[in-house]
Chains A and B, each alone.
Chain A
Amino acid sequence: MEAVPPGRDPGQEWPFESSLIRPYSLTGGRTRPSRSDFSMTSQVVAVPSVSREQVDPEVELILSLCARPVSVVEVASRSGFPLGVVRILLADLLDQGYVMVHTSNWERRRPDAGTLRSVLERIQQL
């Protein structure tokens, strides 16, 4: 287990290697998540005040990005990791009870007319 380097500001972007190898080494070479709960727009949020073991700095970064509900794809964008890697790491964090995930019902069925009208109104206001 890699220790978090001293003096690191949580949330600060960490100069990760841009190579493909580094992100996939975080996943132990896995290219698929342990579960399929995460769509790109699923919202993830770190479970507050859970004491946890020391984690890799990359995982710590992901957890810090989920302090508030945020989409999987935004975690990928802000961390700079490929989406696939983020999904695998988030699946692990979900297994460990460190994050919660919420996938909108609208991923499964079309939104109701009222919601669609709200979307239209919002577009007009842009």
Chain B
Amino acid sequence: MGAEGAGPVPDTLKIVIAGGFGAGKTTLVSAVSEVESLHTEEVMTSESVGVDDLDGVEGKATTTVALDFGRITLDGSTVVYLFGTPGQRRFSFMWEELAEGALGAVVLADTRRLTDSFDVIDFFESRGVPFVVAVNCFDGQRTHRADDVRVALDVEDRVPLLLCDARDRDSVKEVLTELVSLVLRLELSGA
């Protein structure tokens, strides 16, 4: 399709960045996005909200989830979106939507709260979404050994796991390269 004069319509790819509160998702997205990290909100209302019942919207149980995202344009025809999503289970309704058709995911782990990553790792595994685990070393000191984190998170060897600094563009490039290389290997092996 094409709207005359409106420019070509690009194809889009989606990469999910999942991590607990304060794990550095927005920082990671900002490190590589060509636009300042963008922000929107999704409001999840309980199923019981009546379609014609305006009064209900505010009164019913709602969960608001902040969604930060960034963009990397390949050329006019392809755009990669990076979506940061909270890693706690209560936000799993967003994982469902984000995982649908995603190229892959980065689980951004925070060594201070490793257990925050368990649920989302299970989720991506169960959905067959290719993912890598990136351990954000805030202090800039890689005091944690990747092997120790792997054991603590009980992540299989075939899942790439690396240490990173979400503030550092080169480090984030390394994480994304690891993920896309994984997807490429899967594609080439016919998996």
B108: min CB distance to chain A, Å: 17
> Quick one: given A24-B57, A45-B3, A68-B7, are A116 and B180 in contact (CB under 8 Å)?
yes
A95: min CB distance to chain B, Å: 16
Q: Tell me the bound Cα distance from A20 to B42 in angstroms.
A: 11
In the complex, whether B51 has a CB less than 8 A from a CB of chain A is yes
Contact in complex: A68, B57 (CB < 8 Å): no
> Quick one: given A20-B58, A71-B81, A110-B183, are A39 and B100 in contact (CB under 8 Å)?
yes
Residues of chain B within 8 A of A59, CB atoms compared:
none
> Quick one: given A48-B5, A117-B184, A120-B177, are A71 and B52 in contact (CB under 8 Å)?
no
B73: min CB distance to chain A, Å: 8
Q: Which of A74-123 contact B (CB under 8 A)?
A: 74, 76-77, 82-84, 100, 102, 104-108, 110-113, 115-120, 122-123
Interface of B is mostly: mixed
Contact in complex: A110, B186 (CB < 8 Å): yes
Closest to A110 in B: B187
Residues of chain B within 8 A of A47, CB atoms compared:
3
Closest to A78 in B: B38
Contact in complex: B43, A28 (CB < 8 Å): no
Residues of chain A within 8 A of B113, CB atoms compared:
none
Size class of the A contact interface (CB-based, 8 Å): 35 or more
Instruction: Find B184's partner among A30, A48, A116 (CB 8 Å cutoff).
Output: A116
> Quick one: given A39-B101, A82-B42, A113-B184, are A25 and B3 in contact (CB under 8 Å)?
no
B35: min CB distance to chain A, Å: 9
Contact in complex: A73, B40 (CB < 8 Å): yes
In the complex, whether B169 has a CB less than 8 A from a CB of chain A is yes
Residues of chain B within 8 A of A3, CB atoms compared:
none
Stretch from B11-19, B22-30, B147-155, B158-166 contacting the other chain? B11-19
B residues at A contact (CB < 8 Å): 1, 3-14, 32, 38-43, 45, 49-54, 56-58, 62, 64, 67, 69, 72, 74-75, 78-81, 83, 97-98, 100-101, 103, 169, 173, 176-177, 180-181, 183-184, 186-188
For the complex of A and B, list the 9 residue pairs with the smallest distance between their C-beta atoms, beginning with the closest.
A107-B101, A104-B11, A41-B12, A76-B40, A29-B54, A77-B38, A116-B184, A77-B40, A69-B9
A residues at B contact (CB < 8 Å): 19-21, 24-25, 28-32, 39-43, 45-48, 67-69, 71, 73-74, 76-77, 82-84, 100, 102, 104-108, 110-113, 115-120, 122-124, 126
